[in-house]
């Protein structure tokens, strides 16, 4: 994979909640492994200060947030041995996060999502909207923690879209860094041509994994259809106690190449105890060393 301009930093939005604290732990583990730095950012929702507070009160609030961020940064730096900086911004939360990451060449975003369900989460979640706008990988964390050894079991769903292979380089890189096992999941088809095409994709994937000495397991969903693919992928990830699911941010296609919905969005909605890495279909992200 070609190099990408990067500031070698992971952007970590926080609101000081337990979920945000969990995301910071994920970021710290990744930063430690890859030699990244962390930027903690608190985004004050656009119009909030002006609508409720006078200018003097708004300034006091921003100072208080900045002080709290600095305290948190020192805690993380001391615990994990990584460099942590802070910033306070004002704007639309998801848009501000994505613009900072895109315009300032951040390696990635790691953020928490409190999670709702169904339409509420798809429309209302800052994490879900950040995924749509960000041109760098976004790792979404809910209640899942990450151990000292990082991501040990990684689930990667594959389909017939051109974009889907781009996640392979990411999976290989993470697996080599954390000595992970990659679980490739895919669906068969009753259509002979499509099934053969998928088998060719899987053969290519196997070759790349073996060339890089990455441990892997293959799992085929029988008679799968796309609207169940996210359910099946999530269920499989739960059964094997996966640490991470890796998928593309933009719509991936089912075995019949009919776009029914965004696989990544469904996985983010469903995954409560598993982090989901959402990769923009471009060459972007963590520093590679192979």
Q: Give the pLDDT confidence score for residue 284 in this predicted structure.
A: 40
Long-range contacts of 206-214 (CB under 8 A, 24+ apart): 208/168, 208/172, 209/172, 209/182, 209/184, 212/172, 212/175, 212/176, 212/290, 213/176, 214/171, 214/172, 214/175, 214/176, 214/180, 214/182
Average the pLDDT over each of 66-70, 110-114, 178-182, 265-269 and give the range with the smallest value: 265-269
- Express each pLDDT in 193-210 by its tens digit: 888 888 898 999 999 999
From the list 283, 245, 282, the residue with the least C-alpha distance to 266 is: 245
Residues 220 and 193 occupy one common structural domain: yes
Mean pLDDT of 164-181: 91
Q: What confidence tier does 103 reach under pLDDT thresholds 50, 70, 90?
A: very high
Count of structural domains within the chain: 2
Does 286 fall in a domain? no
Give the domain-ending residue among 109, 141, 173: 141
66, part of any domain: yes
Q: How would you label 88-116 residue by residue, b for 16+ Cβ within 10 Å and e otherwise?
A: bbbebbbbbbbebbbeeebbbbbbbbebe
d(CA 228, CA 84): 41
C-alpha 182 chain-centroid distance? 16
Same domain, 257 and 167: yes
Asked whether residue 13 is domain-assigned, the answer is: yes
Say if CB 244 and CB 97 are below 8 A apart: no
pLDDT top residue among 105 and 58: 105
4 close to 166: Cβ distance less than 8 angstroms:
no
DSSP state of 241: T
**Cα torsion angle, 283, 98, 238, 228, sign:** negative
Per-residue pLDDT, averaged over 120-130, amounts to 60
Distance from the Cα of residue 225 to its chain's centroid: 24
Mean pLDDT of the 20-36 span:
95
Of 138, 117, 122, 180, whose CA–CA distance to 13 is shortest? 138
| Residue showing tokens 């990455």 | 214
Question: Based on the domain organization, do 95 and 207 belong to the same domain?
Answer: no
Mean pLDDT throughout 123-140?
81
Mean pLDDT of 126-131: 84
Domain that holds residue 258: 153-279
Question: Strand runs (DSSP E) across the chain, as ranges?
Answer: 9-13, 37-45, 84-91, 108-112, 138-141, 153-157, 181-187, 215-221, 244-248, 275-279
Same domain flag for 80 and 133: yes
3-class SS string, 103-138: HCCCCEEEEECCCCCHHHHHHHCHHHHHHHHCCCCE
Average pLDDT, rounded, for the chain: 83
Indicate which CATH number applies to the domain containing 45: 3.40.50.620
Predicted confidence (pLDDT) per residue in 210-242, tens digit: 999 999 999 998 765 555 888 889 999 999 999
Split at pLDDT 50, 70, 90, the class of 143 is confident
| pLDDT value, residue 224 | 54
Same domain, 101 and 217: no
Task: Please state, in angstroms and rounded to a whole number, the distance separating the CA atoms of residues 47 and 57.
Answer: 14
For residue 267, the SS3 value is helix
pLDDT band at 56 (very low <50, low <70, confident <90, very high): low
pLDDT band at 282 (very low <50, low <70, confident <90, very high): low
């Amino acid at each position: 994979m070609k190099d990408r301009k990067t500031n070698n930093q992971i952007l970590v939005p926080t609101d000081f909640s337990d979920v945000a604290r969990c995301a910071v732990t994920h970021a710290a583990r990744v930063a430690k492994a890859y030699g990244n730095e962390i930027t903690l950012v608190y985004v004050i929702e656009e119009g909030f200060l002006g609508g409720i507070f006078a200018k003097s009160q708004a300034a006091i609030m921003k100072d208080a947030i900045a002080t709290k961020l600095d305290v948190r940064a020192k805690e993380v730096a001391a615990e994990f041995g990584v460099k942590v900086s802070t910033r306070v911004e004002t704007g639309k939360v998801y848009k501000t996060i994505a613009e900072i990451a895109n315009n300032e060449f951040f390696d990635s975003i790691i953020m928490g999502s409190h999670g709702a369900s169904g339409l509420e989460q798809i429309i209302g979640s800052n994490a879900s909207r950040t995924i749509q706008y960000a041109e760098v990988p976004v790792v979404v964390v809910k209640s899942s923690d990450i151990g000292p050894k990082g991501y040990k079991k990684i689930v990667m769903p594959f389909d017939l879209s051109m974009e889907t292979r781009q996640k392979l380089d990411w999976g290989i890189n993470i697996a080599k860094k954390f000595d992970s096992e990659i679980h490739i999941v895919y669906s068969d088809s009753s259509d002979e041509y499509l099934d053969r095409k998928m088998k060719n994709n899987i053969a290519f994937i196997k070759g790349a994994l073996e060339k890089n000495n990455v441990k892997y397991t293959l799992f085929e969903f029988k008679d799968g259809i796309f609207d169940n693919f996210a359910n099946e992928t999530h269920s499989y990830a739960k059964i094997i106690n996966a640490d991470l699911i890796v998928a593309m941010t933009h719509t991936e296609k089912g075995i019949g190449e009919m776009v029914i919905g965004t696989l990544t969005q469904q996985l983010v909605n469903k995954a409560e105890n598993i982090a989901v890495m959402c990769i923009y279909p471009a060459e972007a992200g963590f520093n590679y060393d192979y």
